[in-house]
Structure formats: structure tokens, C-alpha cells
Amino acid sequence: MLSAQERARVMQVWDLIAGHEAQFGAELLLRLFTVYPSTKTYFPNLGACPDRVQLLSHGQRMLEAVGVAVQHLDHLRAALSPLADLHAQVLRVDPTNFPLLIQCFQVVLAAHLQDEFTVEMQAAWDKFLTGVAVVLTEKYR
Amino acid sequence: MVHFTAEEKAAITSLWGKVNVEEAGGEALGRLLVVYPWTQRFFDTFGNLSSASAIMGNPKVKSHGKKVLTSFGDAVKNLDNLKGIFAKLSELHCDKLHVDPENFRLLGNVLVIILANHFGKEFTPQVQAAWQKMVTGVANALAYKYH
């Protein structure tokens, strides 16, 4: 799915995020909940106004999962299978929400990476994250 | 009819004042064509779109991008009447250009990403929210006259 160049770009960006999963994840979730408030319905455990501690904790978990995906670009389905089961059986996040998360992810990357966020980076990450979303919703029915 | 609060209008207009419309327009259209290559379907006459650098450097892309973003500027000045402002353009995009309105949403999202890239920390979640609402309003206004 991803070309060799695209994989390289995915890994390049990941190198800049690795070690900061909690902060990136927290900002991602804050943007998601601020811009698209209906997405909060999928996080009842975080409450109506999640605080920084909650965002950091949950954000870290989500970004670590993205990290798993980055390490297994050649076999995303296998690597993300338990998460795909979770989304299909328990979370059941409507598939239309994944593009919203991806938009916020791109905004976080763009805001933080500045000049390093080239058009090629954006294209590779959009393609990669969309692929992850496909895998996570594949077992829905 | 979409309604913008005073804070949202302030977030939109203050940021817009600092945007270089010519540069941002070319960048937005260029990134759209690279990240979502199927959007190139509307630009057969634009010449070389064979690579990311060809697209980003293409003078027709830059010029058309500037045109598109200048329209956005009109929207910023008329946030209370987006449907009115874009009525003619909506008819044009439907009747003559035959553009699927989904493309307006894609371009709007790319524009938001570019603003985040330029403004960094200043592009807070609240500012992003105002701008996402704005680009959605523009996309809907442009789709309004479709039949």
C-alpha cells in the first residue's frame, strides 16, 4: 500500500513524535473534542470536560498504538488485529469519525513540525492513517 | 444558516489578516492535488502535474490557488451571508465545472492544515474550531445551489 518513500516519510515523522506520545496524544484529543464535540460520545470515561491528566493518559495510549502501526507497516492487519476486534465489538466508533481524528492529527503535525511538514510528509501520513482506519473498521461487519 | 459567535469571527478575521493569500492559495491547491491525486481530474489543462514538486511549482496551480483563496477572503468579510456570497460560484461549480462538493470539504481541510503549519502554537484548538466551522460553511454555501 505504502511505497518505500512513503514508508520512509512515515518513519521520519514518527522519529519526531516518539518519546512525546503523551503530549501529542493529549493535543490530538483536545483538538478532536474542541473541534468535533460529538466525538466525546465515544469517551464516556473521560467525562464532559476531560482534564489534562486524562488527556495525557488516553492520548499516550492512542499514540502508542499508532507507534505499533508504524513499526508494522508491512503487516498492519496482524499487528492491529486486537485493536480491530476492540473497535468492532466494544467501541464501535462510527467509521465517519476516523477522518475527523485524521484531520486533527494532521493539524497537530503541521503545527509542531512546521517546515519539516512537507507536502510529501502530509501525503504519506494521510495515506498511512487512512490505512490504519480501514484496518480498525474492517471487522465491523 | 451557520452562525458565528463574536469570538469565532475574531479568531477567523485576525488570523486572515496575517495570511499571504497568494502563497497560501498556491500551497493549498497544490497540497490538495498531491495528497488527493484524484482531484487532479479537474485540471487537465494545467500542464505538468507529474510529481509533488511539479505540482507545487506549477504556475497555473499557484495562480488558480490565489483565485480560490481570494474568494475565501470574500467569505471572511461576509461570514453572516456565506450562501449569498457564493450563490453565483455555486451555480458555476455545478453547471459548468461539475465539481463534486466533497472536493470543497477536502480543500477546506487542507487550508486548515496549512494555517496550522504557518501559525503553529497560535493555531489553538479554539482557533482551529472556528476555522473548521468557516471552511464547512464555505463548502456548504458552494454546494447550496446544486441541483
Residues with Cβ < 8 Å from A123, sequence gap 6 or more? A6, B34, B35, B52
Q: How far apart are CA B8 and CA A23, in angstroms?
A: 26
ipTM: 0.94
> What pLDDT is attached to residue B1?
77
Burial, A89: exposed, middle or buried (Cβ in 10 Å; 0-12, 13-18, 19+)? exposed
pLDDT tens-place values along chain B, 147 residues long: 789 999 999 999 999 999 999 999 999 999 999 999 999 999 999 999 999 999 999 999 999 999 999 999 999 999 999 999 999 999 999 999 999 999 999 999 999 999 999 999 999 999 999 999 999 999 999 999 999
For helices A76-86 and A119-137, the axis angle rounded to 10 degrees is 60
Cβ pair B101, B141 in contact under 8 A: no
Which of the 8 DSSP states describes residue A19? T
> What pLDDT is attached to residue A137?
97
Q: Which of A106, A111, A117 sits opposite B123 (nearest CB)?
A: A111
From chain B, pick out residues whose CB is under 8 angstroms from the CB of A104.
128
The string of DSSP letters for A93-134 reads --GGGHHHHHHHHHHHHHHHHGGG--HHHHHHHHHHHHHHHH
Q: Is the pLDDT of residue A31 over 80?
A: yes
Enumerate the H helices of B2-101 as residue ranges: 6-16, 21-35, 52-57, 59-77, 82-85, 87-91
> What pLDDT is attached to residue A90?
96
- Percent over 90 (pLDDT), chain A: 96
B19 sits in the region (left: phi over 0; alpha: psi -120 to 50; else beta) called beta
For helices A98-113 and B102-119, the axis angle rounded to 10 degrees is 30
Contact state of B109 with A103 under an 8 Å Cβ cutoff: yes
> What pLDDT is attached to residue A81?
98
Query: If we measure between CA atoms, which residue out of B92, B109, B107 comes closest to residue B143?
Result: B92
> What pLDDT is attached to residue A1?
85
This prediction has a pTM of 0.96
Contact state of A120 with B34 under an 8 Å Cβ cutoff: yes
> What pLDDT is attached to residue B42?
95
Q: What three-state secondary structure class fits B32?
A: helix
Contact state of A103 with B113 under an 8 Å Cβ cutoff: yes
Cell of B124: 489553538
Task: State the average pLDDT over residues A34-49.
Answer: 93
Structure confidence by residue, pLDDT tens digits, A69-124: 999 999 999 999 999 999 999 999 999 999 999 999 999 999 999 999 999 999 99
Q: Assess B109–A contact: CB distance below 8 Å, yes or no.
A: yes
Cell of B65: 490557488
Q: Work out the mean pLDDT of chain A and round it to a whole number.
A: 96
Cβ pair A103, A133 in contact under 8 A: no
Please, what is the end-to-end C-alpha distance for chain A in angstroms? 23
CA angle, corner B130, sides to B129 and B134, nearest 5?
A: 115
> What pLDDT is attached to residue A47?
87
